[in-house]
Structure 1
Amino acid sequence: MTRIYLSPPHASGRELDLVADAIASNWLAPLGPHVDAFERELALATGTGHVLALSSGTAALHLALTVLGIGPGDEVACSDLTFAASANAIVYTGASPVFVDCDETWTIDPGLLDEALTARRAAGARIRAVVAVDLYGQCCDYDALRAVCVRHDVVLVQDAAESLGADYRGTPAGSQGDIAAFSFNGNKIVTTSGGGALASAREDWVTHARKLSTQAREPAPHYEHEEIGFNYRLSNVLAALGRAQLEVLPARVEARRAINARYRSLLADEPGITFMPDAAYGVGNHWLTCITVDPGAFGADREAVRLALEAEDIEARPVWKPMHLQPVFAGRDVVGGDRSAALFRDGLCLPSGSALTPADQERIVSVMLAAAGR
C-alpha cells in the first residue's frame, strides 16, 4: 500500500502556471514580481501590515530578534515545547534562551512566563523579548501574554510557523505579536518548498529586516556595508509556488480541521486516547492532529503505537522534545518543564495531510487499535 506521510505537500494545480511565468520572465534570482505579490497577499491573509518573504522561518525569527537589537548578554524567554528553530534563532544572536513550560493548551504558560520575568529581574538579569510559539496550529493566549509583556516591558515575538490560517479571537494568526515569523517548509499547510516570512505592523522593523536580508547593502553604486547582513531572501520562482498555495489556504485549513474531527470521532470511545485541547480563545488550523496515549488505559504506549504504524508504512512522530531536554541546551534555565516532558513522553502526531482520505484514516486507526490488542 502507498506510504502515508505525516504532512506532505498538497498542490493546488496552479503551481506550474505561476512557476512557468516566473521562468518565462527570466526572474530566476532572488526578488522579483512574484515575491512582491506574495508579500502583499500574505499581508492581506494575515492582517499583519508589512511582510518580508524569506528563505525560511528560522531566518525570519533570526531577523526579528536582530532588528529588536537582541544580542550577547541578553536573555529571551521561549516556549519549551517547540521545534529547535525557535530556540536556535536566539542563540544565533548571542543571547541566552530561558525556557518556559506550557499550560493545558500545550502553548506557553502566561503565569509561568510572569514568574520567569520576575525572577530574572530579581536576579539582576533582564529578559528583553519573548518567543511565543503557536503549537501544531493553535495560537498562544495572546491577551494574557500581552499583559505580562507590557507589565515587564518586553517585546512579544510570535512564532507562527505552524499557525497560518488559524485565528485568535477572530483575527488571523500572526497578527497578535509585535513581530511574527511564518514558515513555508515542505510540511506546512502552505509551502514554497523552503521559505518563510517576517511580518509586523511596524514598517521600520520590516524595512530594516529587508535591508539585513540582502547582506545589508547600502544604497551606493558599489557594494557598501555598514552592518553585518545575511543572505535570507526568497527566490521569485519559489514565491510563485507559494502564491499558488496561498490561493487555496482556506480550503486546506478546512480539510485539516475535518481530518481532526474525523480522528476524534473514530477514537471517541477508546480509553487512554486524549487529543490536544482546543483553546477557547480561537480556532486552530489543526496543521497536525496530536494525541496523548495513556498506556495503562489504552493497552500500548506511544512508542508501541508509533512503531506499529511505521511497520505498516504510516508515518507518525512523537510530540516535540522539549528544549530543556535537548542535549544542546543542557543546563539552560527552564521554568517548569514537567508538563512539556510528559507530553513528549506520551504525545504522538498523527498523519494530517490535507489530502488524507477517510479510508486512510480508518487504516491508521485500525493499526493503532491493533497495537493495543483490539
Structure 2
Amino acid sequence: MEKFIPLSVPNFEGNEKKYVNDAVETAWVSTGGAYVSKFEKDLAKFLYVENVAVCQSGTSALHLSLIEAGVTVGDTVLVSPLTFIAAVNPVKYQHATPVFIDCDDSFCIDPIKLKAFCENECVWDGVILRYKTSPVKALVVVHVFGNMADMEAIVEVASQYSIKIIEDATEALGTFYTKGKYKGKYAGTIGDFGAFSFNGNKIITTGGGGAVTSNKSLCVDHMRFLSTQAKTDPFNYTHDEIGFNYRMTNLQAALGVAQLEELPEFIRRKLQNYARYSRLFDDSKYCTLMPFREGTRSNKWFYSLCIDKAAIKVPLRKIIELLKLTGIETRAIWGLISEQKPYKNEKTYLLEKAPYYASRIINIPCSTQITEEEIEYVALTINELLGNLANE
C-alpha cells in the first residue's frame, strides 16, 4: 500500500517551535509562565468573552463546569448518548446520574425531546425540576463534529426549568451563529459554561489540553482556582476547598498560542475541503455527506458520511477495514454511551435517531493538510467500494 491518507492529524505550520523553544529556554515549562495567561487572553479575545481558564483537557473543563454548576451526589444531568464518553464521565465523577436524551439530525441533543422529557417525566414545583426525587441540575450540550446544537430552543427549555447549560464545544472551536437570536455568538459562549478541547485531533491542538469559560467571570476565576489545587495561601500552602491538578502547562500553552494564530486559516481550509467533498458525493447512490446546521458558520471539524444500509448490508467495520486496504483511514461514529457497560442501566428517553446514526455514520479524512487530489481519491474510492458492495 503506497498511499495513506490519515483521518485527522495536527498541523504545525506557524510559530509552534519558536514559542515552545522560548518556553523551554526560559525554563517555564510547568503550570506557571507567560504563555498560560497569554493563551487565556487570546482565547477570550477570539471568543468575545471576558474570561477563560485553560486546563489539562476538555474532560477537566467539563468536570470543573459541573462542579461550578453545583452538580453533586444524587443530582440528575441530562446528556446525549451519541458523543464521546468523556462528555458524560464527569457526571459520574460528581456522583450524579445521567439521563440520555435523543439527538436530532445534527447529532446534537434534540430540544423537542428535551422539552418533552421535562414536561412528561419530571415534576416542576416552580423552583426545582425533579426527575423522580432527583433535582435536574444541568444539561450537557455537545456540539458534535463542529455542528451547532439548536441553542435557541435548548436555552428556552433550560431557562424555563432553571437548568444550567454546559456547552461541550470541544469539537466546535470557531463555530458560530450567523442568524437568529444568537447571531455572532460562538459555540461555548451561549450557555452558563463552555468547555473546549485541544486534543491531538482537534482543529487546534496543545497535544492535550482544554479550556473553560462562563457567562460569569467570577465563575471562571473560581474554576481556575480549583484547577490549581485550590491554594488560598501559597506561602503556607493553605487550601480551603478540594482542588484538582487541572492547570495547563506553559509548554502546552505556548503551542496553543501558535495554533490559535492559525485557526482562521485552518477553518478556511476545512470549509473549502468540505465543499469539495460535497461536489464529489453529491450524486452518490449509496451515501450522503451530512450537512451542518443552517444559520451557522461551522468550523466543519469532522466530515460525516451516512451509509445507505438498505443497499449496503455489510457492517461499518467491514467498510472501514476495506478502505484501510486502499490507504484511506476512516472511523465509525461512537457506540452509544447508554449501551456501554458503566451506563447500560441508566435512563434513556425516546432514543430513535441516535441508534439510527450510530449504525450508519463514518468519518472521512479531514486534515487541514489534505490535498485536492487526495480528496478526489477518497471520494472516488468510497463511491466505487460502496457500489461494489451494493452489487454483491
- TM-score with structure 1 setting the length: 0.96
Q: Secondary structure at the match of 2:148?
A: coil
Q: Which residue matches 1:277?
A: 291
1:213 matched to which residue of 2?
227
Report how far residue 331 of structure 1 moved: 1.1
Hey, what's the Cα distance between the residues in 1 that align with 2:18 and 2:240? 40
Q: What SS is found at the alignment partner of 1:352?
A: coil
User: Which of 115, 119, 122 does residue 120 from structure 1 map onto?
Assistant: 122
Amino acid at match of 1:127: V
Measure the CA separation in 2 of the matches of 1:123 and 1:92.
21
Please state how far the C-alpha of 1:93 moved relative to its aligned partner: 0.9
Question: Contact 2:146 / 2:298 at 8 angstroms: preserved in 1?
Answer: yes
- 2:252: which partner in 1? 238
Which residue is equivalent to 1:151? 160
2:86 aligns to what?
Answer: 85
SS at match of 1:295: coil
CA distance in 2, matches of 1:82, 1:264: 24
SS in 1 for 2:212: strand
* Residue 98 of structure 1: aligned partner: 99
1:66-85 map, 5 Å: 66-85=67-86
How far residue 55 of structure 1 moved from its aligned partner, in angstroms, is 0.6
* Aligned AA (1:123): K
- Between the aligned residues of both structures, percent identity stands at 35
1:313 deviates by 2.9
Distance 1:264 1:281 in 2: 18
Give the structure 1 partner of residue 22 of structure 2: 21
Whether contact under 8 Å (1:271, 1:298) holds in the other structure is no
What SS class does the counterpart of residue 305 from structure 2 fall into?
Answer: strand
CA contact (8 A) 1:100 1:113 kept: yes
How far the C-alpha of 1:298 sits from its partner, in A, is: 5.7
CA displacement 1:7-36 (0-9 Å, x = unmatched)? 100112210111111112211111210010
Decide whether the 8 Å contact of 1:185 with 1:192 is kept in 2.
yes
Question: Would the alpha carbon gap of residues 91 and 299 (structure 1) be closer, same or farther in structure 2, given more than 3 Å must change?
Answer: closer
How far off its partner does 1:220 sit? 4.9
Counterpart position of 2:48: 47
| Segment of structure 1 superposing worse, 158-167 or 276-285 | 276-285
Q: 1:186 aligns with which of 196, 200, 207?
A: 200
Q: In the aligned structure 2, how far is the partner of 1:268 from the partner of 1:280?
A: 18
Letter in 2 for 1:155: K
Instruction: Give the superposed CA RMSD.
Output: 1.5
2:119 corresponds to 1:110: no
Q: Name the counterpart of 2:171.
A: 162
- Partner Cα distance (1:360, 1:269) in 2: 19
Paired residue type of 2:160? R
> What's the CA shift for 1:116?
2.2
Structure 1: which amino acid aligns with 2:156?
A: A
Q: Secondary structure at the match of 2:231?
A: coil
Indicate the residue corresponding to 2:127 in structure 1: none
* Whole-Å separation in 2 of the counterparts to 1:178 and 1:275: 32
Q: 1:283 to 1:220 in 2, by over 3 A?
A: closer
Deviations 1:100-128 (A, max 9, x none): 11112221101111122231336333211
Does the 8 A contact of 1:300 with 1:372 survive in 2? Answer: no
CA contact 1:78–1:98 (8 Å) conserved in 2: yes
CA contact (8 A) 1:137 1:164 kept: yes
2:373 matched residue in structure 1: 359
The 10-residue stretch of structure 1 (118-127 or 2-11) with the greater mean CA deviation from structure 2:
118-127
Distance in 2 between the 1:301 and 1:196 partners? 34
Shift of 1:203: 1.4
User: What is the count of residue pairs matched by the alignment?
Assistant: 374
Code of the residue aligned with 2:165 in structure 1: it is: L
Question: Following the alignment from structure 1 to structure 2, what is the Cα–Cα distance between the partners of residues 311 and 206?
Answer: 47
| 2:264 counterpart SS class | helix
Paired amino acid for 2:140: V
Change (3 A) 1:240 1:2: farther
Task: Give 1:176-325 correspondences, 5 Å limit.
Answer: 176-297=190-311, 302-325=316-339
TM-score with structure 2 setting the length: 0.92
Counterparts of 2:329 and 2:236, CA distance in 1: 51
Q: Partner amino acid for 1:14?
A: N
